[in-house]
Structure 1
Amino acid sequence: MQIRSLLFTLALALLTALASAQTAQRGTLAGRITDENGYLPGATVLVKGTTLGASTDLNGSFQLPNVPAGSVVLAISYVGYQTVELPLSVRAGLNEVPVVKLSAEGTQLADVIVKGTIAGSQMKAISIKRNALAMMDVLASDAIGKLPDRNAAEAVQRMPGVAVARYHGEADQATVRGTPFAWTSTLFNGTRMPSANVGGSRNAVLDAVPSEIIQYAQVVKALTPDMEGDAIGGSINFVTRVAPENRVLNVSAAGGFNNLSKDGTYNASIVYGDRFFKRKLGVMLAAAIWDRNWGTDEFTIAYNTGASNPQQQVAINSLLMKRYMGKRQTYGFNAGLEYRFNEGNRIYARGLYDMFNDIRPVYESYFAFNTSEYQLNYRYSFYQTRINGLELGGEHQLSNKLKLDYLFSDYTTEYYLNKTPNTTSKDLRGLPIATFRQKLTKGYGGLASDGRKYLSFDSPDGTGDDALGIRPYLVNPVADAIDPAKLTLRQLVLLQFGAKERDQVGQVNLKFDASPKFSLKVGAKFRHKERSGRSTSGSRVYVPTSSTLVALNTLEREPFPTRGGFFNELGNPYDAYAIDNITEQQLYNLYAPGFLQANGFRDVTPGSFPTTYSDGREDVLAGYVMGEWNASEKLKIFGGLRDEYTMLTANGSQYRRETVTVNGAPTVRESITPVTVKNNYHALLPMLHAKYALNQRTNLRAAFTRTFVRPLFTELTPTESINTTTNPITVSKGNAELRPTFANNFDLMGEHYFDNIGLLTAGLFYKDITDVVFSDRSVSLSGNVTTVTTQPQNLRNASLMGFEVGLTRRFTFLPGFLSGFGIEANYTRIESEVEVPRSVGSDVVMDKTPLPNQSRHLFNGILFYERNGLTARLAGNYRGKSVETISQQLGPRLYTWSNTNFTVDFSASYTITPKIRVFVEVNNLTNEPLQNYLGDERRITNSEWYSQRGQAGIRWDIF
């Protein structure tokens, strides 16, 4: 009934708006504001002597309704530019204002804006933020391109309150205010992007999106009713490039080097835009390619956390050392068309195609300290992520008071493995892994008195190493030296997984300007989502049955890719294990039917590694009503109500492995059966904002918003896996009855704008969160049978609070050379708490812990210099430690944490001529490692190093 009531309200508001529009007698002014470099978003447009005003949108255009007929003076102002006063004669209906071109204010500032590369982007970001209804921060394309950030996630890491996840040296996901990554929505042009995250997260992976195709990045921290409401942390909206006012053609090319792989990289882009047919038809084309070789050294330590003895829970089970030596390729293409009938009416189309190839040969050495074997693995991964789609939309000033906009979009995101070891069978596309083992005559040494391996501070008798100094000591190092003749092929695995989502979205919005002080906006949006996925622990597994095993030295091999060192950061202690491994082609040949048959390999799938499938559809119908009221010259109040009705149908499979009696004998029986469930729910979201101008330079903002996040697809899908052949019996399943997580958000923000393109902000925020989704682990006992069940549940409530401060300041008040310096800095402090139940004997205790992925401290700092055509930036990004994995069984003592991470990057450019600029950029100057640990920072679970990368190039602005 709620959705029907809301739709009735929207229809009534629309009819009222249409009826009122027919009697409108005043005029509407519509135009566009530019400078010599293009559109100026966030410019202020006022009718002099009145309170009538508006600001330009991201395309530099404005519509100013309810202007009295007759002679008026239009005042246009912009940060850092001279104010322009334009006399106009207004008539009833639409009045097109000629394009207004602003000029920079003052000789020194004009030189910075024209020749520099930072000032212009700072002005755009500050102006958009200043005039926005929502609490947001903005990053413009010319700022994105001047830092060594080559994908969308790396670009937004510089913004206040934003944290990123890194994968082998490159950022791939982003979150706002330290909340779990799934609590931040990622949008393209205002519509949430589909996600092909295999883990089911709704947060889109951003390493497939090159930064060159982005015009603006907007980080919204307090939503308004006309925005998608599924974002507790906030939303990140990437606005792709649109047709410019003037002809644009620029190209860039760069080459570089990766210090670990010792290989080259290259990057190139081209942007073209123009207008035709009396400037009515606009065209924009942008393309980018980033091809780089990369490398990572990583070691992983697995602990004996399943033990019942607390001492032995921190014993070391194994050490896994990995060398990645691969290639990554990012391709992006963005096209935009716009037909402008007049300043009040336009239609447009946008197209996007992105492809990300992640190619990874991986060399692994594995030491299981409770066995007498050494293991060598070789895998060849070829992951592909594809994002493509199309948008069609329009904006129309239907009358003096009524404006209509609409949009239809169709986007698809797909993640899959693109290698087929056996070319005769398309079913074998996946990730191939070959495992070789060598038996040790005496086993491993360096063990404690209880026969187990520990870190020294955990050891019962002090016998052990530091985590970064852990060594696989051999009792008989001579006889048990690694020998390719003794390493024999013991297992072949072909992992098969992937995910695909397609979103088809239609939306319409109507804005009715009832009077100079009040406007009403209503809208509706429908999204149809289709998702398919495949998850597995190992889709196909082959093991030898023959007593004659294939030795590594009998296969085609190639030199180990040392590339100047193996774990250089630790002093190269593992060089003895950097042995020659098989070639890529040899790996594929191992899966050929002839090889498998000749060497006695049999398929043990699915008994050991069942594959599960999931697919489904999700339809969302959303509607909202929103009002804007200029209560006085200084106070603006706006808000309203949004309702999102979700209809989910999920299809999955249930895997059961159980022991049954057949002919008097126990027999293991396996089965996989399909299952379908439905889950429908409302999300009613009231929101209220207030903006108060203390003076022309200072704003105060306050907001109450209610937002939510939908459960992950993997949590909702009714996939169930039951194994009765283990002790205890294990059950893992989804939960289609999960409720969404809701949050009541309270925000207070102050903004002060300096004269010389600067900004000081400070804010407080609090979130009261209900129905947090958590992976629940329960133990039940029936007779002598114990069953352990893992299932996501809605558990205890949570809270999050914090503050943030930010400063952008140019030191133009200093003399001479020093006047070129400036800083951009922001800091966010966050405290969160959630209660997690844990069984202690027959009792249940509540552990209080921070939210997963939430860092207490986030900091970004940029020291820049800009003068006489030279621009340089030294940028630091800090993310504090955060809980990554919560264990109900072990409790807070053994939670898994990500460690603090502080990266430093550098970039510089020099303007040779007004159209030609050379640049250089370097990432990860300090070779900062990524680390996780178990409970104690000394108890590292994994650490990886990826060294520095950099490039130098040239940009030519032809037009």
Structure 2
Amino acid sequence: MTGNGFIARRARARLALTVSAAALLLAGATAHAQTREGSPPTAQQPGTGSGVTAPSGDQGIADPGSGNSDASGGDVVVTGVRASLSSAQGIKRYADQIVDSIVAEDIGKLPDRNVAEALQRITGIQIQRSYGEGSSIAIRGLSQVRTEINGRDVFTANNGRTLSLEDVPSELLAGVDVYKNPSANLIEGGIGGLVNLRTRKPFDFDGFKLSASATANYYDLYDGTKPQANLLVSDRWQTGVGEIGVLLDVAYQETAFRQDQISSQPFYLLNDQLNASGQPVNATDYATAQGLGRLGQPTYLSHGVGIGQYLGDRRRLGIDAAVQWRPTDTIDVTAEYVRSDYKFRYGDYSFFAYTGDNPITPDFTQPFTYDSEGNFRSGTFVNVPINANTSLEQRHSVTNDYSLNAKWRPSDRLTINGDFQYIRGVTDGQRSIVILASTAERLTTSVGSGVPSMIISPDSDPGNGNGLVSDPANYASGAGYLDHIEHSVGTEYAGRLDAEYKIDGGFLKSLAGGLRYTDRSAVTDSSTYQYYGLTRALSPDLYEQRLFRGDLYRGFQDVPTSAVFFNRDTVLDYGATRQALAPFVDPSQQAALLAGVGYAPSDRNTQGEKTYTAYGVARFGSGGAVPIDGNIGVRLIKTKVSTAGFVGSSPRVQTGTDAITGAPIYGNGPITFNPVNVDSDYTKALPSLNLAFHFTDKLQLRLAASKALTRPGFDQLNPNITIFENNPTNGQRTATSGNADLRPLTADQLDASLEYYFSRTGSIYAAGFYKKVDGFIATITAPETYSFNGVDYVYQVTRPVNGDDGKIKGFEVGGNTFLDFLPGWLSGFGAQANFTYVDSKAPSPDAQDTSGAQLTVPLEQLSKYSYNLIGFYDRGPLSARVAYNWRSKYVVTTRGNGSGNLPIFNDARGQLDASVTLTVTPNFGLTVDGTNLTNTENRTYYGVASRPQSSVLNDRRVSITARLTY
């Protein structure tokens, strides 16, 4: 038995003993429970609540606070921020697990307009942004988060397992629940946690309901306005076959963005060492250090600088259609269709003066400055290559989700739930880049602690036509076109059957169990990048001059006046780009360019996965001096995985003869594709224990122990690999592949949460957590042997592998309240604040220090510290909120290009958002909201803060919304 294996088994044994010991302890407790003061209200009958419903696919949580008085006998809460905060607090207070929630303040009105950005207000959650919008989240340091809609699977077809949160219009949602620890009845799949998006149903309302909203969104950097609208119609009727309800909710959004970026290229250490004979090890680096007067001193030179301007748009269409039927008081049937239709597109201008891995040549006649560690600060370089790129990236993702659910209550004690789902997702994407090339005679740049500068000489004003970067004649050669396409299809059939039996009068409160089956497939076609060289200068009408100085980065001056690019309007039309470039490529490539990129056999990655699940949960409770309740259970899952792909082999062939030596010249021969199929299966047991100690009717302590699981992404399981026999010029054969033998990640988890609820909208809490993750997936490069004609060759193959264990620990503190004790209008003020500390350690085989030793680094995308400060006002017709979110620095990647094998960090970042709502009449309201009001700058750096990588600015958005409700 290996050391790691022994440790893992010992950890599993400890978890099992903990669960067993707790169960034995509780079994000896008082046999008859007492009803405690402040216990959850009786479950609502449909139609009497606020429209917040439990997931229909899984055992879920309802909103126990809607329409009820607070624990201290306060008034009924019915509208606005107070109702939202009260509902979210009620869900947290009475849930079986540690749960945090966000509840819509009104139909179509989450506190934030983006789902991910709304989730960042919850303790323990940090988000990643894509072009100014929240796109993905991590919970308590782990990005392996499961997403659901109404307790069922949901995913975007993009080689992954989860839904891209940016795909979903927030107006469709009644609320979002975040489960931070599992119980056995929850579907497995997220060691970080589970995010359940809840939609509305027709039986949530008493009768007819109509809600409509229209929004105008203005983006200041983009300098444009985009529309947004939402319509919900719902009604219910008594018929001869029972009660029937129908709901239709449609949300449409158009958004825009502009992102300005100025970047330093990677820093490289000059090698000025001498060999044993006294000669320079690297003659070029030695001469550079000598010319700079830096011999014998560490010198890190940035190999250039670049600017980028990304202009794009997003379009979201969401549809939720639901029909409910109640033929008797004991049967409820729900059929639902949810559609997410998302389009994303941008076209950018990227202008770089850089040498890549090649040396950069200083102008030794000009001054250079460095910091105390030898990092370049400022200087001038000569004959630096230029690239002026115009590119297109677009994605269109459609997910269709069909579900049918039936609940039967044959007695007051027994509930049986059956659920079926079919989901199909399709994603298409393109990436194309038109490259223009030239050379900068002189590049003067400084990196300092601010935004990097980029001065190229000679320069010119727009329209002069005699400057280096603004004259199309300077881009007559060295141009090209890169083209890439993707197509993904994912489907799943899922069925489950659950039953719960309630037991009165004793320690044991209920027994629940269920079975679940899924059949998932994922087929992804992803082409290699096809390159077409442009053989001559383009037609004048295909060039575009883009102004930078005075416009880029909100008026930043230390950039070129302008530059010449391939026309962006043409780039935004994928087919028109190929048509426009065809006359300028080699005639042998014209037909291929016009036909577009195709797929080779090895471009397809096919996965199939079936799961068989059974679970059992016992809920219990006892009275006494300190009432206790909770649940204990286990979830058993068998997973069968089938993976199909190809191994491509290209033999070496002679392509010519050296004219001088007569030696043969070799190249790559035709690729032969051989299919490869890998089948695997595994069975996992996931025990869980959740306890709640009720010291008073307001103070409770939760303790939880559990085991969670996350399966590898389908892209990580991709077995495709292509091997070339021909020896490359650097003498090293390389290849890249996935790993069909990856095993799932598992995590042993311990959680504790102390919670004090002093009013319906007032609470404080502190929580601690510890996760030990087994099998972290890391990408490494290792030698592998492949054969051609009986000859073995060693290749350095890069692929993902299961690594060692990682540990995540931390704590959360927070609270919220309204200042009801203040007189009059002052009682409308309220506040919410929380703070999260997360410490993680995970070995990264691909991260090394300067001596080559492996580094143990924090998890990628994880800040150690984060907090939220939110101020409310809610009284009468006025409702307002100001929210500030901050997170400390974090690792973007554990080993960045040109960083000396050091991680690349994102600097600390904070953002201010705000909204104001005026309820003009009971049926009509106006909302003004804004995001990124502080014009937050995002900065990254290579390993150490004195080696800046990029500085980025995004739009500030201001929106006006009119909302009508009947």
Using a 3 Å threshold, how does the CA distance of structure 1 residues 771 and 858 change in structure 2: closer, same or farther? same
Query: For residues 462-510 of structure 1, what are the alpha-carbon distances to aligned partners after superposition, in whole Å with 9 as ceiling and x for unaligned?
Result: xxx5562231544798763431233237212221123332122111111
Residue 388 (str. 1) matches residue 371 (str. 2): no
Report matched runs for 1:296-445 at 5 Å.
296-303=259-266, 315-369=301-355, 370=360, 372-417=384-429, 430-440=430-440, 443-445=441-443
* TM-score for the superposition, normalised by structure 1: 0.81
Mapped pair 1:221 → 2:212: no
Equivalent position amino acid for 1:583 in 2: D
Q: Which runs of 5+ in 2 are unaligned?
A: 1-40, 274-296, 361-382, 461-465, 657-663
One-letter code aligned to 1:485:
A
CA 281–609 in structure 1, closer or farther in 2 if over 3 Å, else same = closer
Matches within 5 A, 1:123-202: 123-142=86-105, 146=109, 149-179=112-142, 181=143, 183-197=144-158, 200-202=159-161
What's the TM-score once normalised by structure 2's chain length? 0.80
1:687 aligns with 2:676: no
Cα distance in 2 for residues equivalent to 1:660 and 1:871: 74
| Deviation (angstroms), 1:105 | 6.3
Residue 839 to residue 372, structure 1, CA distance change in 2 (3 Å):
closer
Superposed CA offset, 1:698-738 (max 9, x none) = 11110000011111212211021335543221121221111
Instruction: Note if contact 2:334-2:406 (Cα within 8 Å) is conserved in structure 1.
Output: yes
The size of the alignment, in residue pairs, is: 839
The verdict on how the C-alpha distance between 1:391 and 1:312 changes in structure 2, with shifts beyond 3 A counting, is farther
- Work out the CA distance in 2 between the residues paired with 1:309 and 1:676: 51
Structure 2 residue 591 is matched with structure 1 residue 613: no
Could you say which residue in structure 2 is the equivalent of 1:736? Answer: 740
**Partner Cα distance (1:587, 1:498) in 2:** 15
In structure 2, what residue type is equivalent to 1:221? Answer: K
Match for residue 643 of structure 2?
Answer: 650
Query: Identity of aligned pairs, percent?
Result: 22
Mapping of residues 396-795 of structure 1, within 5 Å: 396-417=408-429, 430-440=430-440, 443-446=441-444, 468-474=451-457, 480-488=468-476, 490-517=479-506, 518=508, 519-538=510-529, 540-544=530-534, 546=535, 549-551=536-538, 554-557=540-543, 560=546, 565-568=551-554, 570-571=556-557, 573-577=559-563, 581=567, 583-584=569-570, 588-592=575-579, 595-596=582-583, 600=587, 602=589, 612-632=603-623, 634-657=627-650, 659-660=652-653, 665-671=665-671, 673=673, 674-723=675-724, 724-726=726-728, 727=730, 728-778=732-782, 787-795=795-803
User: What is the CA–CA distance in structure 1 between the aligned matches of 2:716 and 2:940, rounded to whole Å?
Assistant: 25
Distance 2:226 2:126 in 1: 26
Q: How far does residue 651 in structure 1 lie from its aligned partner after superposition? A: 1.6
Post-superposition offset of 1:637:
3.1
The equivalent of 1:94 in structure 2 is none
Q: Distance in 1 between matches of 2:563 and 2:796?
A: 39
Q: Does 1:908 align with 2:916?
A: yes
Q: Secondary structure at the match of 2:636?
A: strand
Alignment check: 8 A CA contact 1:839 1:889 kept: no
Q: Secondary structure at the match of 1:739?
A: coil
Residues in 2 aligned to 1:355 and 1:257: alpha-carbon distance in whole angstroms: 22
CA distance in 2, matches of 1:749, 1:895: 34
**What secondary structure, in the 3-state scheme, does the structure 2 residue paired with 1:153 have?**
helix
Aligned to 1:245: 205
Distance 2:438 2:823 in 1: 70
Query: Structure 1 residue 845: deviation in Å?
Result: 3.9
User: How far, CA to CA, are the matches of 1:290 and 1:856 in structure 2?
Assistant: 34
Do the aligned residues in 2 keep the contact of 1:717 with 1:735 (CA within 8 Å)?
yes
SS at match of 1:480: coil
CA pair 896-374 structure 1, distance change in 2 beyond 3 A? same
Instruction: Check whether the contact 1:185–1:203 (CA below 8 A) recurs between aligned residues.
Output: yes
Q: CA RMSD in A?
A: 3.6
Tell me the SS of whatever aligns to 1:277: strand
SS of the equivalent of 1:120 reads helix
Return the alpha-carbon distance in structure 1 between the equivalents of residues 167 and 849 of structure 2: 48
The Cα offsets for residues 485-543 of structure 1, whole Å up to 9 and x where unpaired, read as: 332372122211233321221111111224444211111111111111123441x3211
Task: Provide the rounded CA distance (Å) in 2 between the counterparts of 1:78 and 1:839.
Answer: 51
Matched letter for residue 404 of structure 2 = L
Separation of aligned partners in 1, 2:690 and 2:930: 42
Is the Cα contact below 8 Å between 1:566 and 1:574 reproduced in 2? Answer: no
Q: Judging changes above 3 Å, is the alpha-carbon distance between structure 1 residues 307 and 150 closer, same or farther for their aligned structure 2 residues?
A: farther
Partners of 1:821 and 1:30 in 2: CA distance? 31
Q: Residue type of the partner of 1:225?
A: A
Equivalent residue letter for 1:245: F
1:97-130: CA deviations, max 9, x gaps? xxxxxxx966xx45xx34x411111121111222
What SS does structure 1 have at the residue aligned with 2:400?
A: strand
Q: Distance in 2 between matches of 1:482 and 1:813?
A: 66
Deviation at 1:145, TM superposition (A): 5.2
**Maintained 8 Å contact 1:837/1:844:** no
- 8 Å contact 1:838–1:845 — kept in the other structure? no
Matched, 1:254 2:215: yes
How has the CA–CA distance of structure 1 residues 270 and 346 changed in structure 2, closer, same or farther, with 3 Å as cutoff? same
Distance 1:796 1:730, change over 3 A: same
Query: Which whole-Å CA distance do the structure 2 matches of 1:317 and 1:195 have between them?
Result: 38
Question: For 1:555-579, what per-residue CA distance to the aligned partner results, in whole angstroms no more than 9, with x for missing partners?
Answer: 2456648798222263463432377
3-state SS in 2 of match to 1:207: helix
SS of structure 1 residue aligned to 2:780:
strand
- Does 2:230 match 1:269? yes
Structure 1 residues 347 and 602: alpha-carbon distance in aligned structure 2, compared to 1, 3 A threshold: same
Taking a change above 3 Å as real, the CA distance of residues 57 and 245 of structure 1, as seen in their structure-2 partners, is farther
Whole-angstrom distance in 2 between the partners of 1:80 and 1:880: 40
Conservation of the 8 A alpha-carbon contact between 1:835 and 1:848: yes
Query: 2: distance between equivalents of 1:292 and 1:706?
Result: 40
Q: Is contact 1:335-1:351 (8 Å) kept? A: yes
Q: Distance in 1 between matches of 2:259 and 2:304?
A: 20
The answer to whether the 8 A contact 1:41-1:127 is kept is no
Displacement of 1:758 in angstroms is 1.2
CA spacing shift, 1:817–1:471, aligned 2, 3 Å: same
Deviations 1:286-337 (A, max 9, x none): 1111112321112344316699899999533343322122222111111111
Unaligned runs of 5+ in 1: 1-28, 43-55, 62-76, 84-103, 418-429, 447-452, 457-464
CA distance in 1, matches of 2:545, 2:896: 45
| CA distances 1:632-665 after superposition (whole Å, capped 9, x unpaired) | 3611131111111111111223344553458965
Amino acid at match of 1:768: K
Return the offset for 1:766: 0.4
Find the aligned partners of 2:306 and 2:598 in 1 and give their Cα distance.
Answer: 22
Return closer, same or farther for 1:524/1:932 CA change in 2, 3 Å cut-off: farther
CA 1:313–1:140: 2 relative to 1, 3 Å: farther
In structure 2, distance between residues paired with 1:955 and 1:359: 29
Partner of 1:74: none
Whether the aligned pair in 2 keeps the contact of 1:836 and 1:888 (CA below 8 Å) is no
| Equivalent residues of 1:266, 1:292 under 8 A apart | yes
Cα drift, residue 143 of structure 1: 6.6
Tell me how far apart the structure 1 counterparts of residues 474 and 435 of structure 2 sit (CA, whole Å): 13
Question: In the aligned structure 1, how far is the partner of 2:581 from the partner of 2:846?
Answer: 52
Distance 1:891 1:571 in 2: 28
SS of 1:328's partner is: strand
Q: How far did residue 30 of structure 1 move? A: 9.2
| 1:188/1:927 CA distance change after superposition, 3 Å | same
